[in-house]
Amino acid sequence: MNRVYGVIGIKSIMANWNADFGGYPKTIGDGSIFGSDKALKYSIKKYWEDNGEKILYIKSFKTDKDKIRPRSLEERYNQVFNTTLTKKDESTVILKNLFSALDVKSFGATFAEEGNNISLTGAVQIGQGFNVYGGSSTEEQQILSPFRSDRKVKDNEEAKEANQSTLGTKIVSDEAHYLYPFYINPISYKDYVNMGVTDGYTEDDYRKFKEGALIGATALNTNAKAGCENEFSLFIETDEETYLPNLTQFMNFDKDENGENSITFAAELNGILQGIKEDIKNIEVYYNDYKLRLNNVPEGAKKFNIFTRKEV
């Protein structure tokens, strides 16, 4: 398994890829829109779970005294691994179970239950995804409910029932394009391999991550995420001794006067890759070639349509 560096691009059209607690697209202090790594990981984990993979760290629910409640970590652990967690469980047994879950093996985990305090640093590390389209604006849509609210409202200092159906608000970005850097270190688990609790991060694990990175956002079927899709992914495989910086800093997004979107790779990136070309095993670029143009693509990169997977 090779070391891998890359970028995952998410397009959001009249949607809200990652909202803050107020319902608005997440921003930093200067107003720049970004998406957290958790939002991208969720889309990948949900895709994996929908395709039958064992996923531990994802919200699930149970019925408790006629009420629907989220499961605790212990309850989710018991459900996923069909067991009952106790203080007597050996750490090696717990580790074997944790590593059998694809999300844990990929992204790591913090597990502090029943006297066990386990922290696993994931082989796959994903950074924050910043919106690289400067023309984004936030839109608020008023939504009329088909139902009357029985909540009391004040009118002329008298409490009266609301006679109109309730209003809600949907907040979206008119258009945003997020670029997430990621890095895969396949030897992250070598100590655990020596302990015999995992076979390490494998080619099959990478294949499954790659699939999630190409289709996870597109496959999400929620109201807020309708309009979000995977539009770009870059994978650069190197040997174990090669280190690359955050690749998003070498990519520029533009929209021309005709509304055509493009990503341009900086000359500096090509210079870096040429300087270590003997250490590079493979470069693949997947993108929506119907709506996105690529400029100055790294030499030797194979280009594919992100939806059909056919070479462009």
Query: CA 92 to CA 194: how far, in whole Å?
Result: 12
Mean pLDDT for 231-235 is 98
Range from 25-29, 229-233, 254-258, 307-311 carrying the lowest mean pLDDT: 254-258
Note whether residue 60 is domain-resident. Answer: no
Q: What is the pLDDT of residue 102?
A: 98
Let me know whether 266 and 294 are in one domain.
yes
Query: CA 210 to CA 261: how far, in whole Å?
Result: 24
User: What are phi and psi for residue 58, nearest 5 degrees?
Assistant: -150, 145
Let me know whether 195 and 251 are in one domain.
yes
pTM: 0.92
Query: CA 204 to CA 61: how far, in whole Å?
Result: 30
Q: How many CA atoms lie within 13 A of 175 on its CB side?
A: 9
Let me know whether 158 and 194 are in one domain.
no
Mean pLDDT for 178-194 is 97
Mean pLDDT for 278-304 is 96
> Which range of residues forms the domain containing residue 281?
3-53+120-137+172-305
Let me know whether 213 and 284 are in one domain.
yes
User: What are phi and psi for residue 152, nearest 5 degrees?
Assistant: -75, 140
Let me know whether 155 and 27 are in one domain.
no
Burial class (CB in 10 A: 0-12, 13-18, 19+), 202: middle
Let me know whether 155 and 213 are in one domain.
no
Let me know whether 194 and 222 are in one domain.
yes
Query: CA 312 to CA 294: how far, in whole Å?
Result: 11
Note whether residue 126 is domain-resident. Answer: yes
Query: CA 194 to CA 180: how far, in whole Å?
Result: 32
Note whether residue 84 is domain-resident. Answer: no
Let me know whether 188 and 291 are in one domain.
yes
Q: How far from 77 is each of 83, 118, 224, CA to CA, in Å?
A: 8, 14, 29
Note whether residue 198 is domain-resident. Answer: yes
Note whether residue 154 is domain-resident. Answer: yes
Helix (H) or strand (E) holding 309: none
Note whether residue 113 is domain-resident. Answer: no
Let me know whether 165 and 229 are in one domain.
no
Note whether residue 157 is domain-resident. Answer: yes
Q: What is the pLDDT of residue 217?
A: 96
β-pairing verdict for 152-155 and 124-126: unpaired
The total of structural domains in the chain comes to: 2
Let me know whether 150 and 269 are in one domain.
no
Q: Is the pLDDT of residue 154 over 60?
A: no
Mean pLDDT for 48-73 is 93
Q: Is the pLDDT of residue 148 over 90?
A: no
Q: Is the pLDDT of residue 223 over 80?
A: no
SS3 category, 267: helix
Q: How far from 67 is each of 59, 64, 178, 204, 291, CA to CA, in Å?
A: 16, 5, 38, 40, 46
Let me know whether 130 and 239 are in one domain.
yes
Note whether residue 20 is domain-resident. Answer: yes
Let me know whether 163 and 233 are in one domain.
no
